Amino acid sequence: EMRNLLRLHAAGIPCPRPIQLRLHILVMEFLGESGTAAPRLKDAGLTPARMRRAYTEVIILLRSMYHKCRLIHADFSEYNLLVHRDEIYVIDVSQSVELDHPRAFDFLREDCKHANDYFRRQSVATLTNKELFDFVVNPGITEDTLDLALNNLMETAATRPIVPTAEE
């Protein structure tokens, strides 16, 4: 987990800053205010408008982990994302895998599905799982074209009916 947090932190991806690893104890930055931990995305009680923005942030996090860190979370869900100071933070990256892992793309497909399922249950217009997967892995999208690509995809998503996924 220390190694993965260091990679995320170095790439500018919001995550708890790792401080020290000694034996098998990892000390990391506390995310919260006045001794109260930042809520998980699931428990944050975001407004509908903020939830829509959160979806965009979350899919950019997936893409950034993939392209900047060459990592796939492998347990990406509303339980492993925190809302701190109005920003989404990634936590619990101990099981994250590198892109050359034999099941990396299977894990990425599951991460995409979990993200989409959660946001659909929140009545947010989402990409299809395939659209999200393709967005994450597409090497042709650059920093210069990211906003345009994302806007085009989200406009397409907004034209489809929102069909909430049953909570598992």
Residue 92 a catalytic site member: yes
- The one-letter amino acid code at 119 reads F
Question: Strand, helix or coil at 100?
Answer: coil
Structure tokens at 42: 């699931």
Q: Is residue 117 annotated as part of the catalytic site, yes or no?
A: no
| φ/ψ of residue 91, rounded to 5 | -130, 175
Q: How is residue 19 written in tokens?
A: 């401080």
- Evaluated on CA atoms 98, 107, 50, 44, the torsion sign reads negative
Of these residues, 43, 86, 92, 144, which one is catalytic? 92
Could you give the residue numbers annotated as active site? 75, 92
